[in-house]
Structure 1
Amino acid sequence: MRPAELTAIRAGEIDLAFRRWERPRVRAGTRMRTAVGLVEVTSVDRVPVRSLTAADARRAGAPSLVALRQGLDRVHPERPVYRIGLRYAGADPRHELREAVPDPDEIGAIRQWLDRLDRASPTGPWTRATLLLIDELPATRAPDLAHRMGRDTPSFKQNVRKLKERGLTESLDIGYRLSARGAAVLDHEGHLRPGRDRPEPEPGTPLPRLGASATRALTAHGVTRLEQVTGLSAAEVQALPGVGPYALARLREAMDAAGLAFRAD
């Protein structure tokens, strides 16, 4: 699902999706982790294309019934159509987990889990080295980190996803950063963390997830905190290369929640 669709699902504006599949790829009750949080599948039904209505199109975020049908006929028109019910199911529980500093018992369990991953790896231990590298080089492209580790990018990303599942790392629009939970584990083991003495980030609210292109554009413009966006008009932000409608909407949403606003033109 595209970012704009996910945002609409969270807002309750979209609660259907239509897909052409050989067989169902999800089932009712499935919860998917997305950029906006958990999205739950509430139903999965095979339907004939002729049964689709204008209301279905609106609920799926399509501009019209014709556009919905054309989109379904564009790829694999010979496959059956499935109607998928969707709803926003809340924040990703990993967000809260990564900020929760573990107690000694939890740290012991995490360390045992990391040791098991290292023992099972055909390429040798990797868990602590990966955590330390992310701590040293936050917001660095995954291919660059993989190269530093002597790994290919897909397998490196797969390993980082395992660490993220336990709340030890956090994905950014570009790269990753070590979470408070991950830092606690490394500190407990006595590692010399390269990021421990890094200066505290400047005060303010971090930018929301906007996508890599928009984040790069704002960073290059000297904007790394939500409060700094108030010095720009909406038109100036949208004119930055890489900032599209989705990024602008996410910024506006975050600023509204924080009681901030773009500079008036």
Structure 2
Amino acid sequence: MMIRPAELAAIKAGTIDLAFRRWARPRVVVGTRLRTSIGVVEVTSIEQVSTSQLRAEDARRAGAASLAALKEALAARSEDPAWRIGVAYAGPDPREALRASVPDAAELAAINARLDRMDASSAYGAWTRETLDLIDLNAGVRAPDLAAQVGRETLDFKKDVRKLKELGLTESLAIGYLLSPRGEAVVDAGLPKPRARQPRTPGTQLPRSIGAPATRALREAGVTTLEQVATYSVEQLAAMHGVGPIAIARLGEALAEQGSELADS
């Protein structure tokens, strides 16, 4: 169930608690927990409705500009039933805390045993340590480029990286990946001595929704966190080649979630 960034921000703020979708059959159930860019969103209710039953209150709770706008959005795929879905913010993604936790010796042994099982069950062969090491040495490099380095198909490579992310070992950047502190500890435990790494810039990562061109432009300007973005005005961002109106709007939305905003002109 895809939810737009602005709607996610409103769900977190509590100003949106409904969503409407056209589905042939329900794709979520009550209790489904969706991991999103703002944390976990939980499905609190779901029921089939007729568009003739919709009211202005439904539109308001779904963040639509008007009842007419909500009905227009549901006009596509009219052969499928319409569903009213209750949604609520359910807290931060639990993987955030997991990524930051450095494992002790017992946890390291358990993680390595899990990685061994993942290697043994893979048709590709041993890939877990290879992938962790590749990401460690190539932070922020595009997934297709990483996959090419080890002769793998991009989609299969990305699926495997997601498995490592579930263990709290990697983080997804707007472009590419980064080892988490937990992942760094796992890699270092297998080396003669810990690897020298660039210090992390304190702050919140750039949202992936801004797109690769905007991310590259910001990186070239030395901007890698939302806190740094807040020192720029709309005009300064727009002057960067690759940072367009949509990227600026999404940066503004991400800052608003933190109670911040772009600098004045």
TM-score, scaled relative to structure 1: 0.89
- The answer to whether 1:218 aligns with 2:222 is no
Return the alpha-carbon distance in structure 1 between the equivalents of residues 222 and 29 of structure 2: 45
- The answer to whether 1:244 aligns with 2:243 is no
- Kindly provide the CA deviation profile for residues 123-165 of structure 1, in whole angstroms up to 9, marking residues without a partner as x: 1110000000000001111111111121111111110010000
CA 1:166 to 1:78, structure 2 compared with 1: closer, same or farther past 3 Å?
same
C-alpha contact 2:205 2:225 (8 A) present in aligned 1: yes
CA 1:218 to 1:254, structure 2 compared with 1: closer, same or farther past 3 Å?
farther
SS of residue in 2 equivalent to 1:44: strand
CA 1:148 to 1:15, structure 2 compared with 1: closer, same or farther past 3 Å?
same
C-alpha contact 2:9 2:253 (8 A) present in aligned 1: no
C-alpha contact 1:169 1:178 (8 A) present in aligned 2: yes
User: Which residue among 16, 28, 36 is the counterpart of 1:34?
Assistant: 36
Which residue in the other structure is 2:54 paired with?
52
Return the alpha-carbon distance in structure 2 between the equivalents of residues 92 and 116 of structure 1: 25
- How far apart are 1:3 and its partner, in Å? 1.2
Which residue in the other structure is 2:235 paired with?
235
Return the alpha-carbon distance in structure 1 between the equivalents of residues 232 and 26 of structure 2: 46
CA 1:44 to 1:207, structure 2 compared with 1: closer, same or farther past 3 Å?
same
Which residue in the other structure is 1:186 paired with?
187
Which residue in the other structure is 1:90 paired with?
91
Return the alpha-carbon distance in structure 1 between the equivalents of residues 237 and 110 of structure 2: 46
Which residue in the other structure is 1:142 paired with?
143
RMSD: 2.0
Return the alpha-carbon distance in structure 2 between the equivalents of residues 191 and 147 of structure 1: 28
C-alpha contact 1:208 1:251 (8 A) present in aligned 2: no
Q: Percent identity?
A: 51
TM-score, scaled relative to structure 2: 0.89
- How far apart are 1:226 and its partner, in Å? 4.5
- How far apart are 1:170 and its partner, in Å? 0.6
Aligned residue type for 1:145: L
- The answer to whether 1:209 aligns with 2:207 is yes
Return the alpha-carbon distance in structure 1 between the equivalents of residues 35 and 228 of structure 2: 30
Which residue in the other structure is 1:264 paired with?
264
Which residue in the other structure is 2:159 paired with?
158
Aligned residue type for 2:8: L
Aligned residue type for 1:28: V
- How far apart are 1:262 and its partner, in Å? 4.3
SS of residue in 2 equivalent to 1:197: coil
Return the alpha-carbon distance in structure 2 between the equivalents of residues 109 and 189 of structure 1: 14
Return the alpha-carbon distance in structure 2 between the equivalents of residues 232 and 121 of structure 1: 46
- How far apart are 1:205 and its partner, in Å? 2.6
CA 1:124 to 1:252, structure 2 compared with 1: closer, same or farther past 3 Å?
same
Return the alpha-carbon distance in structure 2 between the equivalents of residues 227 and 21 of structure 1: 39
- The answer to whether 1:10 aligns with 2:12 is yes
Which residue in the other structure is 2:169 paired with?
168
Q: Show structure 1 runs of 5+ residues with no match.
A: none
C-alpha contact 1:142 1:175 (8 A) present in aligned 2: yes
C-alpha contact 2:206 2:225 (8 A) present in aligned 1: no
Which residue in the other structure is 2:71 paired with?
69
- How far apart are 1:236 and its partner, in Å? 2.4
Return the alpha-carbon distance in structure 2 between the equivalents of residues 73 and 94 of structure 1: 37
Return the alpha-carbon distance in structure 1 between the equivalents of residues 157 and 232 of structure 2: 38
C-alpha contact 2:17 2:86 (8 A) present in aligned 1: yes
C-alpha contact 1:46 1:81 (8 A) present in aligned 2: yes
- How far apart are 1:230 and its partner, in Å? 5.2
Q: Show structure 2 runs of 5+ residues with no match.
A: none
User: Which residue among 2, 21, 24 is the counterpart of 1:22?
Assistant: 24
CA 1:263 to 1:79, structure 2 compared with 1: closer, same or farther past 3 Å?
closer
- Kindly provide the CA deviation profile for residues 178-211 of structure 1, in whole angstroms up to 9, marking residues without a partner as x: 0111111122222677xx213324x543444253
Q: Runs (4+) of structure 1 moved beyond 6 Å? A: none
- How far apart are 1:227 and its partner, in Å? 5.0
CA 1:52 to 1:123, structure 2 compared with 1: closer, same or farther past 3 Å?
same
- How far apart are 1:49 and its partner, in Å? 1.1
